[in-house]
Amino acid sequence: MTSQPTPASQPTPSRPDRTAGAIETVFRMESPRIIAGVTRVVRDVGIAEELAQDALVAALEQWPRDGVPDNPGAWLMTTARHRAVDLVRRRENYARKLAEIGRTLPEAAAPPEEPADPDDIDDDLLRLVFTACHPVLSTEARTALTLRLLGGLTTAEIARAFLVPEPTVAQRIVRAKRTLATKNVAFEMPYGPDREARLGSVLDVIYLIFNEGYAATAGDDWLRPSLCEDALRLARVLTALMPKEPEVHGLTALLELQASRTAARTGPSGEPVLLRDQNRSRWNRMLIARGFAALGRAEATSGGAPGPYLLQAAIAACHAHAYSYEETDWSRIATLYGLLAARSPSPVVELNRAVAVSMAKGPAEALALVDALAGDPALRDYHLLPSVRGDLLARLGRAPEARAEFERAASLTRNERERELLLRRAAEQP
Amino acid sequence: MPRFLTLIRIDEKNAPAEGPSPELMERMGKLLEEITKAGVMLDTAGLTPTSDGSRVTWEGGQLSVTDGPFTESKEVIGGYSISQCKDKAEAIEWAKRFLSLHEDYWTITAEVRQITED
């Protein structure tokens, strides 16, 4: 900084110019791109991650001594890729030697030309996204690997976010990398008929991460905002990488709009505040505006055939447009849930449609829809079914039945905060 | 992940009269693309000179409006960005990258401020 500092604010001394902390910051920012770029060379995300770490170690040794390169990200990338190319060459030499004695190893990819083109890096990043969310992996492995490789979270951070022991997460990640290697999962973008399903899998992983933060399935916190933010960042990255995909814009719009309510969703002591009771002046207008913009892009690219994320974003937009719960366009929401049910039928969608119908047409009509779901095995232990049913019964003046439903819902939820809320509602019944 | 408001402060009296060079604009465009693709940038814009601006002040129970330019301020806000970063170190790193795009004859300060989350 060359401006004249006032005596009150001296420039922060930093000798050498970048501390180890600042180098690690640069590395964390660049690591998804580095891992992606290196995976293209070595075809193995585990090895790529190790080579990226090696580049960090090299930076920690060299930068404080020789000064910081003008483009630290490019330095890390080039260093990691050089090591990758060396490794591939060593492998090839080894394979040649084996061949001389009559044994073979799988063909290694030819090392790419230097330096990396930014567009190539974007493509590599997308390949990494599709690899981390590959269907050969379990859902748990996909979320852990995505947060690790693309979200830049440490194993400890992932473990904290999902309330599981750190060794469990570490194991999951190791096994996931091994599965990708043993199943010879190609480091490529899916084309052809399974592309849509593969993209759907990526979007589902991001949505799952968001939801775990938005309505934690277990534990004492109602909300874990950091997970929501990690998911939202992944969605924003994907939007920039795949600007022609309506469902990517749809997912981003949905998450921006849902995240806009974060501040209003908890009360002073961390208790959940339901949509109808939220102070809407606390909804974040910037996120709402971003959500609307993303929804517009989703609609513009969808060619009039809205996918499930676009439809859910359109529903979230109905809430965002309303200044109060009563002013919400419930009949439009019910219509959108109808479209969603036709496009990807599920009992949970049907349950949400019932809630919208109860607001648009009254609780009696909605109760018929909910009762039709009562026997669905998928909802047998889903706490929101008795919770919604209890709400409808309470509105119909059937207090004893409502109380029983709220108590049943409380016994089913694994979230402490939600249990308290449901028991309170049970106790409120006259 | 906290959000940050980064205020770009320039000395209007000594800033290049013709504004940013075409080369600088191109470098800024590239960086903006990079920061957007990193999922970090929420909003950013440059501001017109303070000669177009006004200050509205409330003091001693009285309102007053002062039209620009704000000649008594050595540095005025020339632009801003709102970003969402893992921590302040990351926000500072992006600010450094933005500043170092400029030619040596610029004197420019990025003030990185965290936005309070309620």
A333 three-class SS: helix
The residue ranking higher by pLDDT, A113 or A333, is A333
- CB distance A4–B74 less than 8 Å? yes
CA–CA separation, B13 and B27 (whole Å): 24
**Confidence grade of residue A141 (pLDDT, cut at 50, 70, 90):** very high
The residue ranking higher by pLDDT, A188 or A98, is A188
- CB distance A21–B40 less than 8 Å? no
Domain of residue B12, residue span = 3-114
Question: pLDDT by residue (tens digit) across B55-87?
Answer: 999 999 999 999 989 888 889 999 999 999 999
Candidates A118, A233, A286; nearest CB to B43: A286
CA–CA separation, A218 and A159 (whole Å): 14
- Residue ranges of chain A whose CB lies within 8 Å of a chain B CB: 1-4, 21-22, 25-26, 28-29, 70, 118, 122, 152, 226, 229-230, 232-237, 240-241, 263, 282, 286, 290
Pair A270, A420: CB distance under 8 Å: no
Question: pLDDT by residue (tens digit) across A65-123?
Answer: 888 888 888 999 999 999 999 999 998 888 888 777 766 555 544 444 455 577 788 99
- CB distance B37–A21 less than 8 Å? no
C-alpha A111, offset from chain centre:
32
B19 three-class SS: coil
B87 touches chain A (CB under 8 A): yes
pLDDT of residue A220: 62
Burial code (b: 16+ CB inside 10 Å, e: under 16) for A12-30 equals eeeeeebeeebbebbbbbb
Distance from CA of B43 to the nearest CA of A (A): 9
- CB distance B109–A229 less than 8 Å? no
Pair A25, B38: CB distance under 8 Å: no
**What is the number of domains present in chain B?**
1
Distance from CA of B52 to the nearest CA of A (A): 24
CA–CA separation, A152 and A158 (whole Å): 10
Candidates B39, B82, B93; nearest CB to A236: B39
- Residue A141 burial (CB count, 10 A): 22
Mutation target to probe the A interface, by most A beta carbons within 10 A, among B86, B94, B106 is B86
Residue B102 has pLDDT above 70, yes or no: yes
B58 three-class SS: strand
Candidates B1, B37, B118; nearest CB to A229: B1
B36 touches chain A (CB under 8 A): yes
Candidates B38, B75, B89; nearest CB to A237: B38
CA–CA separation, A233 and A235 (whole Å): 5
Q: Which ranges in A243-346 belong to alpha helices (H)?
A: 246-259, 285-301, 308-321, 330-343
Domain spans in chain A, listed from the N-terminal domain onward: 17-90+118-189, 212-311
Residue A50 has pLDDT above 50, yes or no: yes
B84 contact residues in A (CB cutoff 8 A) = 229, 232-233
pLDDT of residue A156: 92
A233 contact residues in B (CB cutoff 8 A) = 1, 39-40, 84
Arithmetic mean of pLDDT, B99-104: 94
Distance from CA of A259 to the nearest CA of B (A): 12
CA–CA separation, B118 and A282 (whole Å): 9
CATH assignment of the domain containing B28: 3.30.70.1060
Pair A319, A275: CB distance under 8 Å: yes
Candidates B93, B117, B118; nearest CB to A26: B93
CA–CA separation, A266 and A94 (whole Å): 60
Instruction: Work out the angle at residue B43's Cα, subtended by the Cα atoms of residues B42 and B44, and round it to the nearest 5 degrees.
Output: 140
Q: Which residue of A has its CA nearest to B90?
A: A25
**Confidence grade of residue A22 (pLDDT, cut at 50, 70, 90):** confident
pLDDT of residue A115: 52
